[in-house]
Chains A and B, each alone.
Chain A
Amino acid sequence: MTAPVTVKPTPIIQHIAWTISDTIAVTKRNLITYVRLPQLLVFSSIQPVIFVLMFRYVFGGAISVPGGSYVDFLMPGIFVQTVVFGAMNTAVGLAEDLRKGLLERFRSLPMSRAAVLAGRTLAEFVRNIWVVALMCGVGFAVGFRVHTDPWVFVSGLALLLLFGFALTWVFAFVGLSTGNAETAQAASFPVMAVLVFASSAFVPTESMPGWLQGWTNNQPVSVTLDAVRALSIGGPTASKVLTSVAWCFGILVVAVPIAIWRYRTKV
């Protein structure tokens, strides 16, 4: 028998300090990947650019929106769509880390149990800032105009980034659960498609059947989209923004603990 050993518990302040420094270290590690493999960033940027051009010039002529230009209606849709699909990267990245044994190593270290996931989602947050900036550039180039104050528009973008951040935690859970990049992608896509396309992203919901409108008007993607759209083309914003923010925090409150739980108990 071994004599029991007493181990002093780590003081809470120390624990918090380590959680922060671990998260920074992991975030940096994930961002280095984007610097080393710029093609990842390039390819994930090309798709939204093509979407802008396609909807603007190919379908745009056939779609009319009440009281405004289609491009002004469209751009917030593209923003949200890009951020939502981009969130799938989180699942793919974590599934890869899992497959390569990196998560196993991290889990054997005395590091914070939250840092691997927080570092991943924060890196995605940084990537989203870049992607959204790029979208704005392309949008302005094809005639997108902001009809509100610049700072109102920027707060719309901030809401967008918050929404993207909340979703990356959902996909952190998906990635850890599937454990393989292809499955993670296959599992995520249908859900994302229903959220993005059955929304007001590309066409006004008034053209949809009534039963569908109940969904499209209240699901988180539409709600966020309406808020972002209102913040760029004007109209009543307060209740839309509040509902969207509530969705973001609601998603975070559920997704963060279950993703961390999945990470800790992954067999």
Chain B
Amino acid sequence: MQSDDSSNNAIVVEGLGKSFGDVTAIEDISFEVPRGTVLGLLGPNGAGKTTTVRILTTLIKATRGHASVLGIDVSQNPQAVRERIGLAGQYAAVDENLTGRENLRLIARLTHQPKNTIEGRVGEMLERFDLVAAADRPSRTYSGGMRRRLDLAAALVHRPPVLFLDEPTTGLDPSSRSDLWDIIGELVRDGTTVLVTTHYLDEADRLSDNIIVIDHGNIVAQGTADELKSRLGAVVIELTLADQAQAGRARDALAAIGPSEIDTHGKSLELKVTNGTQALMDVVRILDKENITPVDLGVRESTLDDVFLSLTGRKAGETNGTPESSPIAGEKA
């Protein structure tokens, strides 16, 4: 390509902000994505993830700040940016009346691939995304997972060095999800830089080299998954008590070690601590003294769920009305 960027960063965002009238979708966001790495943009619904992606993919203009992709300013030279990026948006954008093959052929033509290479490339993509058997059926007949795969294939037909994925696995069943994760992993091994947004913590954990947590249009934390976890207590001690009264007593008794939360059923406690072994011994000693015997006692590594909860005060996806971190919706046929 014509660009020769000496920088190591595929994406650079500086003081980016976007307002829609009175609504501030993103306030002040800055980050960098080194080439060949995956950045996970994690946040609840309405955090500003899609808005950030839409600015970076030249669909809308920022109100404030700068953003560049492979050293090219997205607002000054959008056309050059478009030649170098792939986008799979929040909803699978495939033409339902075209077959899988026709969809990919269309995108190949519209990205100006040399004519004599198009059929070969389309066939290659169908194979890679396991769509060969369905290639000549209208995509209307595809399952949700197949549509997603077709959508991702369409984003990749022209071999973009930078890929944007906006909530790529929303609405997929667990096996389609992990298929998609494997594909994304392969792309990164081949050198593609990926920015993926998600409100699934396990997804950010699984896919990303670096994670940025955003909420209300601002970055609230960033780092690797491990860094984020250890920053907010590396270990969670989980206790289950016989009844709610005991749970309340246990919480009061353990207040000296650290704050703990009782779950919605009222019988389980979670205590976030940094030094797991020491804290566990303290817990046992205190409970024994108070004559409280837990039904169950365990220690686990803290998850990004815990991190997210303490950073935003909400569980991931809560604004969506589904306080689950794993997708529950089945494939949309």
Contact = CB atoms under 8 A, between A and B. Distances in A.
B106 A25 contact: yes
Interface string A97-116: 00011101111111100010
A265 to B, nearest CB: 9
Contact of A5 (B72, B93, B102, B112): B72
A104 B68 contact: no
B198 to A, nearest CB: 18
A72 interface: no
Interface stretch (B77-85, B125-133, B236-244, B312-320): B77-85
B111 A2 contact: no
A25 B108 CA distance: 10
A3 B5 contact: yes
Interface in A127-172: none
B111 A111 contact: yes
A25 B109 contact: yes
Contacts of B92: 101
Interface in A56-106: 100-102, 104-106
A36 B4 contact: no
Interface string B57-93: 1111000000010111100010110110101011111
B106 A267 contact: no
A126 interface: no
A3 B110 contact: no
B107 A107 contact: no
Contacts of A4: 71, 73
B83 A110 contact: yes
Q: Most chain-A Cβ atoms within 10 A of its Cβ — which of B6, B57, B59, B68?
A: B59
Interface string A181-198: 000000000000000000
A7 B95 contact: no
A22 interface: yes
Contacts of B212: none
B276 interface: no
B87 A25 contact: no
A102 B82 contact: no
B98 interface: yes
Given A36-B97, A110-B82, A7 B72 contact: yes
Contact of A104 (B89, B96, B112): B89
Contacts of B68: 2, 5
Given A21-B109, A108-B58, A5 B5 contact: yes
Given A102-B94, A108-B59, 13 more contacts: A2-B71, A3-B5, A3-B6, A3-B7, A3-B71, A7-B80, A8-B2, A32-B102, A36-B98, A104-B87, A106-B110, A109-B107, A110-B79
16 contacts: A1-B12, A4-B73, A5-B68, A6-B3, A7-B3, A8-B2, A21-B112, A29-B95, A32-B102, A101-B92, A104-B93, A105-B87, A105-B107, A108-B58, A108-B85, A110-B83
Interface of B: 2-7, 9, 12, 20, 57-60, 68, 70-73, 77, 79-80, 82-83, 85, 87, 89-98, 102, 106-107, 109-112, 138, 154
A-B complex: 5 closest residue pairs judged by Cβ atoms:
A5-B71, A101-B93, A7-B80, A105-B93, A110-B82
